[in-house]
C-alpha cells in the first residue's frame, strides 16, 4: 500500500513513542561488541574500554568471563570487581540475583551465547541479560557472529562447523549500541587454530572463510545502524533520506523485459549489499495473456527475494514515486516502449515524467522485450 | 644489483568515519603487534592531537624525523619520504592518508608519497576517514553539509591489500568529544554543532561499514581488477550477459562531476569497465566559449584522475554521436545527468536525454539524479 504519511507520526503514535521512550529510559542500556570470529579481540576491547570508564569513576562490575582468557585479558581483568558465577548447577552461569543486589551502573558479560544448565530460571544467558536490563542495570556484552541464530546456516555453510548455542538476531538488533571489532582475517587465522600451525593451502582457505564472515558481520552492523537511523529520523518526523543504503525499485509491466531487469537489479543490489523492490501498478483491462506474463514476472521477483508490491492509483508515475519516497529508494529501473499496456494510458510520456519528477533517485531505463520503437 | 624490480610494498588502510574513532590507535596497535613479532617497524608520520592513550601506544616504536618545509615565512612539518626510503623499514606507519602537503613539497598529496614508499617495497599501514573517498564526495556533502576537498581516488584505495574498520558507536564518540579527548573544548563545541551530529555520524558510520564490507567483497572474488581488459564474461541463469561497460557523458554542466563519481562507483561495484565521452560541436573546440572549454577540460581531467578512459568526439548531434560511440564500443549502460532546473538548459538536456533513450535500443540509459538538491 502506498502510504506517504507514514513518516509523519499521528497523535496516537506520538503517545506510544513517549511511553516507549519512558520505558526505555528506566531500562538498562545494552551494548554489544560483535566479532566475526574468535581471536579478533572483542573481550579485550570491551574490558579495555570499561577499564577507562571505571577509572573515570563509573560503577562497573564483571559478571561473566570466558573460560579461557588471553594474557592481555587476564591483565586488564585485574581492574574490576568480579561477581562470581553460580556454580551450584554444575557449569558456571551469571548470578543474576547477586548482580541485582549489587546494582552496578554497568555489568560486563563476556560471551553472550551460553545455555544455562537445566533447572536454571532462564534457559539462555541472553534472557539473564534481559532480566538485568529490565531491572535498570546496563549490560555490555560480547558475541561472535556464528552464535547469531539467523546467521548460523550461512556461517555453517562457510565454516563447515556447527555450534550449539545461539542468540536470536532480534535481541542483538534491539541493542542500544552495537560495535564491530574488526581485524584483518590473517590475524584470526593464527589465533583460532588452537596454537596448531596450519598448512598454507588450508590457511588460504581459512582466510577466505574468515573474510566471508567479516563481510557478513559488517553488513549486519550496517543494517542495524541503518535501521536505528531510520527509526530515529521517523520519530523526529524528519523527511531525510541519506541514501546510505542502495535500494533498487524495479517497475514491471506485462510488456517489460522483467527477467533482464530483475536479474540486473538483483546483481546490483547484491553488489551494493542493498535491498530489492519490485512493484507493479494495478490496472484494469489486462488481457489474460498479459495477466499470465505479469504473474510470472512477479513470481520471478519473489524468487529473487525482492519485496513485491502492488501499487494502486490513477496516476502510475505518482504511485511509483510515492512508494519510492516512502521506502527511501535510490534507483528506479523502468522499461520503456511506446506500445501497449500501462504506457499508453500515461501522457505525457511516463518515462520522461519519472526521470524529471524523481528527486534524488537515479532512473535506469531498459528497452522493453522484443521491440525498440521510438517514443 | 641487477635491474630487478623490487617487490611492491603492501598497503593496509585503517578506515574510520570521523576524528576520534581510534584509527591512529589501531594503527599503532598493529605496529606494536608487528614489532613484538620481531618485524622492522617505523613511524613515518604520526599526528598525536594531544591524545594521551594514543601517544602511549608509540612507546618503543622508532620515529623517522619529519621534514621542515618553509612556506610563506612559516615552517611546516611534513613526512620525510626521502628519509623513510633511506631508512627503508619493512613496515612504515603513516597517519592521515588524505593529507595535502604544504605547497612547495615534492608531491601534492600524502597518498602520492605513500605510493612512492610502496613502489620502493616498503609496506605501509595508514589511516583515513570514509568522507575522503572520492566517489562518495556528493553523498558526504548531503550527509554533513560539508564539501570535503581532500579526497583520495578510489583506485588508490583499491590498491590496498586490506581495509580494516576502526569502529566506535557515535554515542561513545560524542562522549569522547565531551570529555575533550578528541578536540580542545571550544573546537569540540563547534564540531558538535556541525559535523558531529549524531544522525550524521550514524550515516557516516553506516557508509564506512558498507565500504569495508565492499572492500572485502572485491578482494574475494576471482574476477580480475576493475580496469583490466581481461575481464571474464559471465552470464546469469537466464543467459543475460553480466559484464557491463559503462559510458559517462561529459559536458560542461556543473552536475558532471557528480555524474562521473556515480558512474565510477557503480562501475567499481559491478566490476564494469568505465569510459567517459565528451561530444564537441563539429566545428571543434574553438566554437565553444573559453568558459565552456575550461569546464569540459576540468571534467575530463577529473575523470582521468579517477582512472576513467576519456574520449573526445565531434558531431552535430550530441545524442547521435554518443549512441553511435556506445554501439560501436559494446557499451551496456549510458550515464547521463538529469536535466537541470533552469529553463533553456532544461529543455536542451531533456530533449537530449529522451533522444538518447530512443536511439539506444538495446543499451540501458541511467539518468543520474542531482543529489545536491536534497540537501537540507
What is the structure's pLDDT at B309?
Answer: 94
**CA dihedral of residues A353, A358, A361, A363 (deg, nearest 10):** -10
Please state, in angstroms and rounded to a whole number, the distance separating the CA atoms of residues A113 and A166: 6
DSSP string covering B53-65, please?
A: HHHHTTTTPEEPP
* B143 closest CB neighbour out of A242, A360, A363: A242
Please state, in angstroms and rounded to a whole number, the distance separating the CA atoms of residues B238 and A369: 14
| Residue of B336, B339, B329 whose CA lies nearest to B364 | B336
Q: So what's the ipTM on this one? A: 0.80
Summarize pLDDT for A236-264 with one digit per residue, the tens: 776 666 778 889 999 998 878 888 899 88
- Looking at the complex, report in whole angstroms how far the Cα of residue B62 sits from the nearest Cα belonging to chain A: 23
Alpha-carbon dihedral sign for residues B355, B358, B360, B366: positive
| Residue of B87, B98, B160, B79 whose CA lies nearest to B124 | B160
Mean per-residue pLDDT over chain A, rounded = 84
Say yes or no for a CB contact (<8 Å) between B220 and A215.
yes
β-strand pairing of A307-311 with A275-281: parallel
Q: Are B233 and B243 in contact (CB under 8 A)?
A: yes
**How much is the pTM?**
0.82
Which residues of chain B make contact with A31, given a CB cutoff of 8 A? 169
Return the residue of A nearest to B21 by Cα: A179
Res. B201: pLDDT tops 60: yes
What is the structure's pLDDT at A15?
Answer: 77
What is the mean predicted confidence (pLDDT) over A165-189? 86
Summarize pLDDT for B298-309 with one digit per residue, the tens: 999 999 999 999
- Looking at the complex, report in whole angstroms how far the Cα of residue A64 sits from the nearest Cα belonging to chain B: 23
Res. A194: pLDDT tops 70: no
> Where is average pLDDT lowest: A158-167, A173-182, B25-34, B189-198?
B189-198
Q: Is A363 on the interface with B (CB under 8 A)?
A: yes
* B373 closest CB neighbour out of A56, A264, A360: A360
Q: Is A263 on the interface with B (CB under 8 A)?
A: yes
Res. B348: pLDDT tops 60: yes
Q: Is A290 on the interface with B (CB under 8 A)?
A: no
Q: Is B202 on the interface with A (CB under 8 A)?
A: yes
Return the residue of B nearest to A330 by Cα: B369
Which residues of chain B make contact with A335, given a CB cutoff of 8 A? none
Please state, in angstroms and rounded to a whole number, the distance separating the CA atoms of residues B297 and B291: 10
Return the residue of B nearest to A231 by Cα: B199
**What's the angle, vertex CA A264, arms to CA B159 and CA A364, rounded to 5?**
95
Say yes or no for a CB contact (<8 Å) between A360 and B353.
no
- Looking at the complex, report in whole angstroms how far the Cα of residue B109 sits from the nearest Cα belonging to chain A: 26
Helices H / strands E in chain A, number of each: 14, 11
Q: Is A218 on the interface with B (CB under 8 A)?
A: yes
Question: Which residues 122-161 of B are in CB contact (within 8 Å) with A?
Answer: 139, 142-143
What is the structure's pLDDT at A187?
Answer: 57
Distances B96 to A52, A113, B46, B244 between C-alpha atoms, Å = 26, 38, 8, 35
Enumerate the β-bridge partners of residue A350: none
Summarize pLDDT for B263-289 with one digit per residue, the tens: 999 998 888 999 999 999 887 777 788
Q: Is A352 on the interface with B (CB under 8 A)?
A: yes
Question: Which residues 14-33 of B are in CB contact (within 8 Å) with A?
Answer: none
β-strand pairing of B91-94 with B364-368: unpaired
Pick from A51, A158, A190, A215 the residue to mutate for testing the B interface (most B CBs within 10 Å): A215
Confidence class for position A24, pLDDT limits 50, 70, 90: confident
Please report the domains of chain B, with CATH numbers, ordered by start residue. Answer: 11-219 (3.40.50.300), 233-375 (3.40.50.620)
- The cell for B79 is 613526512
Distances B211 to A173, B86, B181 between C-alpha atoms, Å = 21, 35, 27
**What's the angle, vertex CA B316, arms to CA B314 and CA B317, rounded to 5?**
100
Please state, in angstroms and rounded to a whole number, the distance separating the CA atoms of residues B16 and B65: 26
Which residues of chain A make contact with B216, given a CB cutoff of 8 A? 211, 214-215, 218
Res. A341: pLDDT tops 60: no
What is the mean predicted confidence (pLDDT) over B146-160? 91
- Looking at the complex, report in whole angstroms how far the Cα of residue B205 sits from the nearest Cα belonging to chain A: 8
What is the structure's pLDDT at A285?
Answer: 78
Say yes or no for a CB contact (<8 Å) between B373 and A359.
yes
- Looking at the complex, report in whole angstroms how far the Cα of residue B203 sits from the nearest Cα belonging to chain A: 6
Element spanning A142, H or E: strand A138-144
Which residues of chain A make contact with B339, given a CB cutoff of 8 A? 355-356
Confidence class for position A308, pLDDT limits 50, 70, 90: very high
Confidence class for position A183, pLDDT limits 50, 70, 90: confident
What is the structure's pLDDT at A89?
Answer: 66
Return the residue of B nearest to A266 by Cα: B236
Say yes or no for a CB contact (<8 Å) between A358 and B209.
no
Which residues of chain B make contact with A244, given a CB cutoff of 8 A? 139, 143, 203, 206-207, 210
Q: Is B216 on the interface with A (CB under 8 A)?
A: yes
Q: Is A229 on the interface with B (CB under 8 A)?
A: yes
Res. A189: pLDDT tops 70: no
Q: HEC profile for A65-83? A: CCCCCCHHHHHHHCCCEEC
What is the structure's pLDDT at B229?
Answer: 38
Q: Are B362 and A367 in contact (CB under 8 A)?
A: yes
Asked if the bond preceding B126 is cis, omega within 30° of 0, the reply is no
Question: Which residues 64-103 of B are in CB contact (within 8 Å) with A?
Answer: none
Please state, in angstroms and rounded to a whole number, the distance separating the CA atoms of residues A231 and A217: 21
Return the residue of B nearest to A366 by Cα: B364
Summarize pLDDT for B233-261 with one digit per residue, the tens: 455 555 556 678 999 999 999 889 999 99
Amino acid at each position: 500500500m502506498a502510504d506517504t504519511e507514514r513518516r509523519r507520526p499521528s497523535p496516537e503514535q506520538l503517545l506510544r513513542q513517549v511511553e516507549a521512550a519512558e520505558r526505555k529510559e528506566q531500562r538498562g542500556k545494552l551494548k554489544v561488541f560483535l566479532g566475526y570470529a574468535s581471536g579478533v579481540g572483542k573481550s579485550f576491547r570491551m574490558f579495555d574500554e570499561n577499564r577507562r570508564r571505571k577509572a573515570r569513576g563509573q560503577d562497573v562490575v564483571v559478571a561473566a568471563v570466558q573460560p579461557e582468557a588471553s594474557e592481555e585479558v587476564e591483565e586488564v581483568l585485574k581492574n574490576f570487581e568480579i561477581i562470581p558465577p553460580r556454580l551450584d548447577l554444575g557449569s558456571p552461569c551469571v548470578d543474576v540475583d547477586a548482580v541485582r543486589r549489587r546494582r552496578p551502573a554497568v555489568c560486563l558479560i563476556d560471551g553472550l551465547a551460553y545455555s544455562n544448565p537445566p533447572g536454571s530460571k532462564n534457559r539462555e544467558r541472553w534472557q539473564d541479560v534481559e532480566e538485568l536490563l529490565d531491572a535498570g542495570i546496563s549490560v555490555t556484552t560480547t558475541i561472535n557472529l556464528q552464535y547469531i541464530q539467523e546467521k548460523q546456516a550461512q556461517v555453517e555453510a562457510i565454516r563447515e562447523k556447527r555450534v550449539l548455542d545461539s542468540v536470536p538476531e532480534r535481541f542483538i538488533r534491539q541493542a542500544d549500541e552495537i560495535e564491530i571489532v574488526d581485524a584483518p582475517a590473517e590475524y584470526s587465522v593464527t589465533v583460532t587454530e588452537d596454537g596448531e600451525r596450519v598448512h598454507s593451502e588450508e590457511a588460504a582457505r581459512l582466510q577466505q572463510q574468515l573474510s566471508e564472515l567479516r563481510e557478513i558481520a559488517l553488513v549486519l552492523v550496517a543494517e542495524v545502524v541503518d535501521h536505528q537511523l531510520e527509526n530515529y529520523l521517523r520519530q523526529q518526523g524528519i523527511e531525510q533520506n541519506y541514501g546510505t543504503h542502495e535500494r533498487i525499485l524495479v517497475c514491471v509491466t506485462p510488456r517489460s523485459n522483467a527477467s533482464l531487469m530483475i536479474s540486473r537489479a538483483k546483481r546490483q543490489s547484491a553488489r551494493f549489499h542493498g535491498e530489492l523492490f519490485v512493484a507493479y501498478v494495478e490496472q484494469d483491462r489486462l488481457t489474460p495473456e498479459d495477466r499470465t506474463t505479469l504473474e510470472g514476472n512477479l513470481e520471478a521477483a519473489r524468487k529473487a527475494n525482492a519485496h513485491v508490491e502492488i501499487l494502486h492509483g490513477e496516476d502510475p508515475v505518482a504511485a511509483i514515486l510515492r512508494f519510492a519516497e516512502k521506502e527511501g529508494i535510490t534507483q528506479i529501473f523502468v522499461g520503456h516502449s511506446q506500445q501497449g499496456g500501462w504506457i499508453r494510458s500515461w501522457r505525457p510520456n511516463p518515462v520522461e515524467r519519472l526521470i524529471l519528477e524523481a528527486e534524488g533517485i537515479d532512473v535506469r531505463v531498459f528497452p522493453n522485450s522484443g521491440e525498440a520503437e521510438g517514443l | 644489483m641487477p635491474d630487478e624490480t623490487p617487490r611492491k610494498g603492501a598497503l593496509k588502510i585503517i578506515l574510520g568515519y570521523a576524528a576520534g574513532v581510534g584509527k591512529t590507535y589501531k594503527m599503532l596497535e598493529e605496529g606494536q603487534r608487528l614489532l613484538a613479532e620481531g618485524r622492522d617497524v617505523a613511524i613515518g608520520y604520526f599526528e598525536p592531537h594531544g591524545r594521551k592513550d594514543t601517544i602511549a601506544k608509540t612507546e618503543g616504536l622508532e620515529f623517522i624525523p619529519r621534514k621542515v618545509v618553509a612556506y610563506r615565512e612559516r615552517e611546516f612539518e611534513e613526512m620525510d619520504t626521502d628519509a623513510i626510503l633511506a631508512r627503508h623499514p619493512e613496515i612504515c606507519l603513516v597517519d592521515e592518508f588524505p593529507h595535502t602537503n604544504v605547497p612547495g613539497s615534492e608531491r601534492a598529496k600524502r597518498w602520492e608519497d605513500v605510493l612512492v614508499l610502496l613502489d620502493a617495497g616498503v609496506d605501509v599501514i595508514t589511516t583515513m576517514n570514509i568522507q575522503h573517498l572520492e566517489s562518495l564526495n556528493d553523498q558526504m556533502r548531503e550527509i554533513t553539509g560539508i564539501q570535503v576537498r581532500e579526497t583520495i581516488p578510489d583506485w588508490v584505495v583499491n590498491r590496498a591489500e586490506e581495509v580494516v574498520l576502526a569502529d566506535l558507536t557515535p554515542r561513545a564518540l560524542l562522549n569522547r568529544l565531551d570529555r575533550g579527548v578528541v578536540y580542545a573544548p571550544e573546537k569540540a563545541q563547534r564540531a558538535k554543532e556541525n559535523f558531529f551530529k549524531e544522525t550524521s555520524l550514524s550515516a557516516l558510520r553506516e557508509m564506512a561499514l558498507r565500504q569495508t564490507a565492499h572492500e572485502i567483497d572485491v578482494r574475494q572474488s576471482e574476477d580480475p581488477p576493475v580496469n583490466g581488459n581481461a575481464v571474464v564474461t559471465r552470464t546469469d541463469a537466464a543467459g543475460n550477459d553480466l559484464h557491463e561497460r559503462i559510458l559517462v557523458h561529459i559536458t560542461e554542466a556543473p552536475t558532471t562531476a557528480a555524474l562521473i563519481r556515480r558512474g565510477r562507483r557503480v562501475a567499481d561495484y559491478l566490476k564494469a569497465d568505465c569510459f567517459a565521452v565528451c561530444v564537441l560541436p563539429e566545428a571543434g573546440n574553438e566554437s565553444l566559449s573559453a568558459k565552456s572549454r575550461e569546464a569540459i577540460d576540468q571534467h575530463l581531467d577529473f575523470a582521468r584522475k579517477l582512472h576513467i578512459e576519456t574520449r573526445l568526439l565531434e558531431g552535430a548531434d550530441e545524442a547521435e554521436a554518443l549512441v553511435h560511440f556506445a554501439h560501436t564500443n559494446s557499451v551496456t549502460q549510458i550515464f547521463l545527468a538529469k536535466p537541470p532546473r533552469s529553463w533553456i538548459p532544461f529543455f536542451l538536456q531533456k530533449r537530449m536525454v529522451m533522444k538518447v533513450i530512443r536511439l539506444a535500443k538495446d543499451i540501458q540509459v541511467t539518468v543520474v539524479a542531482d543529489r545536491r538538491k536534497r540537501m537540507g
